């Protein structure tokens, strides 16, 4: 089966590879199971295992075993750590950086990436995303959301534009804004610990 080329970075083989790298390198202090990486990247467990094995062969990641479980972590001592981090921050980073920053926000029910980043990941545009468009659903403090966006901007090296909608506005879908957002590609961010 032929794997579609990565849409957010010509340096990477596939979107799954980009998302796995982003989760590992944007959260370099964390340990991840291969099943988590597969779920995060929206790929099969065997595909995630092959990607992890390639990264292990290149010593870009390290493995820690607990019984039969394998946990993977970015190798911060690798000479290419900063370079790989920069590449994945620019390309697939928003999907990995934003969830842990948004999770603590009170009142958040859903978060979506939209705009050019989501359109490119959905293969609907060739334009390179210059900024990250983020939609927060719920009764979220705009001040706290702005702080989270500012931290994400530091990590991603690009602007994060935050838009808001209440759960009722999103559910009804009556406003022009919500209708426009829903008519275009969306990438829902997983907001769980």
Instruction: Let me know: does 141 contact 105? Beta carbons within 8 Å.
Output: yes
The number of residues making up the chain comes to 193
For 193, the enclosing helix (H) or strand (E) is: none
Q: What is the mean pLDDT of residues 166-178?
A: 94
Q: How confident is the model at residue 90 (pLDDT cuts 50, 70, 90)?
A: confident
pTM above threshold 0.75: yes
CATH number of 15-91: 1.10.10.10
Question: 3-state class of 133 per DSSP?
Answer: strand
Range list for CATH 1.10.10.10 in the chain: 15-91
For residue range 94-108, what is the model confidence (pLDDT) as tens digits?
A: 999 999 999 999 999
- Tokens 């009170």 found at: 106
Q: How confident is the model at residue 1 (pLDDT cuts 50, 70, 90)?
A: very low
Least confident of 10-14, 16-20, 124-128, 152-156: 124-128
Mean pLDDT of the chain: 90
- Residues 6 or more apart in contact with residue 53 via CB below 8 angstroms: none
For residue range 7-22, what is the model confidence (pLDDT) as tens digits?
A: 777 778 888 899 999 9
Helix axes 45-57, 34-41, angle to 10 degrees: 110
Alpha-carbon gap, residue 114 to 178, rounded angstroms: 11
Residue range 96-188 forms a domain whose CATH class is alpha beta
Instruction: Let me know: does 92 contact 9? Beta carbons within 8 Å.
Output: yes
Query: What separation in angstroms does the CA of 133 have from each of 15, 59, 186?
Result: 19, 34, 10
Alpha-carbon gap, residue 182 to 163, rounded angstroms: 13
* Cα four-point dihedral sign 110, 30, 131, 12: negative
Beta 108-114 vs 187-188: how paired, if at all? Answer: antiparallel
Q: In the predicted model, is pLDDT for residue 129 greater than 90?
A: no
């Amino acid at each position: 089966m032929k794997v579609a080329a990565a849409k957010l970075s010509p340096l990477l083989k596939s979107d799954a590879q980009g998302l796995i790298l982003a989760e590992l390198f944007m959260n370099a202090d964390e340990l991840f199971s291969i099943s988590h990486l597969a779920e995060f990247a929206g790929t099969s467990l065997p595909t995630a295992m092959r990607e992890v094995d390639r990264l292990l062969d290149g010593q870009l990641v390290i493995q820690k075993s607990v019984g039969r479980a394998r946990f993977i972590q970015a190798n911060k001592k690798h000479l290419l750590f900063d370079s790989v981090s920069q590449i994945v921050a620019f390309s697939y980073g928003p999907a990995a950086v934003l969830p842990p920053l948004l999770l603590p926000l009170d009142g958040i029910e859903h978060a979506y990436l939209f705009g050019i980043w989501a359109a490119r990941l959905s293969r609907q545009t060739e334009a390179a995303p210059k900024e990250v468009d983020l939609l927060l659903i719920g009764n979220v403090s705009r001040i706290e959301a702005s702080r989270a966006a500012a931290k994400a901007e530091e990590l991603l090296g690009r602007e994060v534009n935050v838009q808001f909608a209440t759960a009722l506005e999103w559910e009804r879908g009556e406003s022009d804004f919500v209708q426009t957002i829903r008519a275009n590609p969306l990438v829902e961010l997983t907001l769980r610990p």
